[in-house]
């Protein structure tokens, strides 16, 4: 038992012994500043091993060790009449026995913090078992330098690796289970001598293979036993960069490997302290280098309560109609694979993302919108000659949309180079929905509908621009929604390309010829928004054309060269320009009854 050194209730008992009821043995009473005198009775019972604090006290104060649990979770003979019982059943029966004997004088419900198994969700029990370790606690400075040699995306998660290394202990690489990579060694049961397997015998499983030596080289006895434990999973998976570069097969030329260090490691944030750290450690020890140049850290997909979606959620959760929203195949069956990918690609690097069916539906809207936009565009390109050159003169909206496309490709490429696919998608979405669909496509319709007002050259400029823009948009979206983009590529662009699939083409590149200064577009876009607002307020249907529109603006002369563009924007054939102190529109529909 332990009490706090300043707890007057128990200070006189320190150094004495307390009797353990039912089991007839005595335990010493100690003091420790780790004990909280306000919690419960103010006494801490050290029951090797109830939790980590018990382990620490046992080790520090050299307490006697009583192992009451077997490896299969049942009580040993030290439990007396409770021998053979599972832990939970034994607990209940011990409490019952204490009551029967009058040893319990009061009961109180308290909250406790205990360690539980992630999968079993049951309390963790400790057993002292010999373990194999990799010594790394004396390598902190070297490992911190290795971490600094790697490019971290996002960079703030680099600190998590630093914090782990600064507090790291030696690495326990042993697991007591039936599956896993075996340790290639035997031990002498008499003197403990370790006998390693010969290199030419590897790989080998000593649990099922006799040692190559008949007697122990140290004591000369024959009691040689194969190691029954297996390696921690990180002990083997931490070697993936080495395995991929065939390190064991090409030791002499390994230093010249074009594969190692690898370019990137992709993983989640919860295994920075395991997979990332152990891979860095192993590469440092075996090759004196880093395992990869970049590391990209993702988050987890979470349920609505903020808990990581696991296989258990995929297997157990089912809605009334039989639909499991945590099962990828079920989600894909309902919304399509592209829609699910659009949701997943919305996650920022290193950040968790809660699952939302609404967001998956939004992804599906993007897929359907892209398909419909492609159909819409192809309706205007029936007479377009693919090998035609860029028109010498282009309306301002054509030059504007190409300039916006240029900037979007630059931004998306910049984000992809930093592995930030979510920001790349945001940039592409903004161009597709706002620039292309909401504005540009609406601005060019009149060119194709009103052939008396717009010239063939004007329409050719629109067709050439649409062909270029749609190709780039499909390419930009290809990493996010690979199925619909591949279908559109095959139907529209494959007949004119040598590449069999969009997914083996080069990612869209910005073209210098697309860059253009279009300052007047700000006012033109403002006019478009104002016209839409006034149509709504005046209840004028979008299908109704304007007999004339009066535009008042401070710098109205700068708008006159773009009269045809404004006619298309405002759906009219007549514009009256007037100088004014602020932007105003006066709409006059062709049929006043429609207004």
| Three-class secondary structure of residue 265 per DSSP | strand
Q: Where are the alpha helices (DSSP H) in 381-455?
A: 396-417, 421-429, 441-449
pLDDT, residue 296, reads 97
For the chain, the average pLDDT equals: 91
Among 68-72, 86-90, 311-315, the least confident range: 311-315
End-to-end CA distance of the chain: 89
Place 594 in a pLDDT band, splitting at 50, 70 and 90.
very low
φ/ψ of 269, rounded to 5, equals -75, -20
Residue 103 corresponds to which tokens in the numbers above? 């040893």
For residue 333, the tally of other CB atoms under 10 A from its CB is 11
Residue 297 corresponds to which tokens in the numbers above? 């850290």
Burial class for 443, CB neighbours closer than 10 Å (0-12, 13-18, 19+) = buried
Predicted TM-score (pTM) of this structure: 0.81
Q: What is the DSSP string of 513-537?
A: GG----TTHHHHHHHHHHHHHHHHH
Nearest to 85 by CA among 63, 69, 101: 69
Percent above pLDDT 70 for the chain:
96
Nearest to 419 by CA among 261, 257, 292, 282: 292
Contacts of 374 (CB under 8 A, 6+ apart): 470, 474, 488, 492
Q: What is the mean pLDDT of residues 145-162?
A: 97
Read off the pLDDT of residues 328-376 as tens digits, 9 standing for 90 and up. 888 899 999 999 999 999 999 999 999 989 999 999 999 999 999 999 9
Q: What is the DSSP string of 530-595?
A: HHHHHHHHTT--TTPPEEEEEEEETTGGGTGGGHHHHHHHHTBS-EEEEE-SS-EEEEEESSGGG-
pLDDT, residue 595, reads 44
| Residue 209 pLDDT exceeds 80 | yes
* Plot region of 407 (φ>0 → left; ψ -120 to 50 → alpha; else → beta): alpha
> CA 436: distance to chain centroid?
30
* Plot region of 309 (φ>0 → left; ψ -120 to 50 → alpha; else → beta): beta
* Plot region of 62 (φ>0 → left; ψ -120 to 50 → alpha; else → beta): left
Read off the pLDDT of residues 566-590 as tens digits, 9 standing for 90 and up. 988 888 889 999 998 899 989 989 8
Distance CA 309, CA 264 (A): 25
Percent above pLDDT 90 for the chain:
67
Distance CA 279, CA 293 (A): 13
> CA 545: distance to chain centroid?
50
Among 309-323, 477-491, 510-524, 535-549, the least confident range: 309-323
pLDDT, residue 249, reads 65
Order of strands across the sheet that contains 262-268:
151-153, 292-298, 262-268
Residue 359 gets which letter from DSSP?
H
Q: Per 3-state DSSP, what percentage of the chain is helix, strand, and coil (rounded to 5)?
A: 45, 15, 40
Distance CA 397, CA 214 (A): 87
């Amino acid at each position: 038992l332990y009490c706090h050194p300043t707890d007057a209730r128990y200070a006189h008992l320190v150094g004495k012994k307390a009797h353990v009821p039912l089991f007839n043995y005595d335990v010493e009473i100690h003091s420790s500043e780790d004990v909280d005198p306000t919690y419960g009775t103010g006494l801490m019972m050290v029951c090797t091993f109830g939790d980590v604090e018990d382990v620490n006290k046992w080790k520090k104060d050299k307490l006697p060790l009583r192992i009451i649990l077997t490896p299969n979770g049942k009580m040993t003979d030290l439990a007396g009449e409770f021998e053979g019982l599972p832990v939970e059943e034994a607990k209940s029966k011990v409490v019952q026995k204490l009551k029967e004997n009058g040893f319990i004088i009061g009961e109180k419900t308290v909250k406790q913090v205990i360690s539980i198994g992630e999968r079993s969700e049951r309390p963790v029990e400790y057993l002292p078992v010999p373990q194999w370790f990799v010594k790394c606690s004396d390598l902190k400075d070297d490992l911190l330098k290795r971490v600094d040699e790697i490019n971290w995306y996002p960079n703030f998660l680099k600190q998590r690796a630093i914090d782990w290394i600064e507090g790291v202990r030696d690495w326990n690489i042993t697991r007591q289970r039936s599956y896993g990579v075996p340790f290639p060694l035997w031990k002498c049961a008499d003197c403990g001598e370790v006998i390693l397997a010969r290199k030419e015998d590897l790989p080998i499983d000593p649990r099922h293979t006799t040692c190559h030596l008949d007697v122990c080289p140290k004591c000369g006895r024959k009691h040689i036993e194969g190691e029954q434990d297996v390696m921690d999973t990180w002990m083997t998976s931490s070697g993936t960069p080495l395995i991929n570069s065939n390190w064991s097969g090409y030791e002499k030329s390994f230093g010249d490997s074009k594969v190692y260090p690898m370019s990137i490691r992709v993983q989640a944030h919860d295994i920075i302290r395991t997979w990332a750290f152990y891979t860095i450690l192993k590469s440092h020890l075996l090759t004196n280098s880093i395992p990869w140049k970049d590391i990209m850290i993702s988050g987890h997909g979470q349920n609505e309560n903020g808990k990581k979606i696991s296989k258990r959620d995929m297997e157990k959760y089912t809605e009334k109609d039989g639909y499991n929203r945590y099962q990828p195949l079920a989600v894909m069956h309902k919304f399509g694979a592209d829609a699910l990918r659009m949701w997943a690609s919305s996650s920022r690097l290193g950040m968790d993302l809660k699952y939302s069916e609404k967001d998956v539906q939004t992804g599906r809207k993007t897929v359907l919108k892209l398909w419909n936009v492609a159909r819409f565009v192809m309706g205007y390109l029936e007479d377009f000659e693919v090998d035609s050159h860029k028109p010498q003169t282009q309306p301002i909206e054509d030059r504007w949309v190409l300039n916006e496309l240029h900037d979007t490709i630059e931004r998306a490429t910049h984000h992809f180079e930093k592995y930030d696919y979510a920001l790349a998608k945001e940039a592409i979405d903004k161009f597709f929905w706002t620039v292309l669909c909401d504005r540009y496509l609406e601005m060019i319709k009149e060119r194709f509908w009103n052939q008396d007002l717009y010239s063939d050259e004007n329409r050719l400029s629109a067709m050439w621009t649409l062909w270029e823009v749609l190709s780039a948009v499909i390419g930009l979206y290809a990493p996010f929604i690979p199925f619909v983009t591949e279908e559109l590529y095959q139907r529209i662009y494959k007949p004119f390309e040598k590449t069999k699939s969009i997914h083996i083409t080069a990612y869209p590149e910005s073209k210098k010829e697309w860059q253009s200064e279009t300052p007047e577009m700000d006012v033109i876009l403002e006019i478009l928004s104002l016209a839409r607002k006034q149509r709504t307020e005046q209840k004028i249907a979008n299908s109704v054309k304007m007999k004339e529109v009066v535009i008042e603006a401070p710098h109205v002369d700068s708008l006159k060269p773009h009269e045809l563009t404004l006619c298309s924007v405002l759906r009219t054939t007549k514009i009256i320009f007037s100088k004014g102190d602020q932007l105003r529109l006066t709409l006059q529909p062709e049929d006043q009854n429609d207004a």
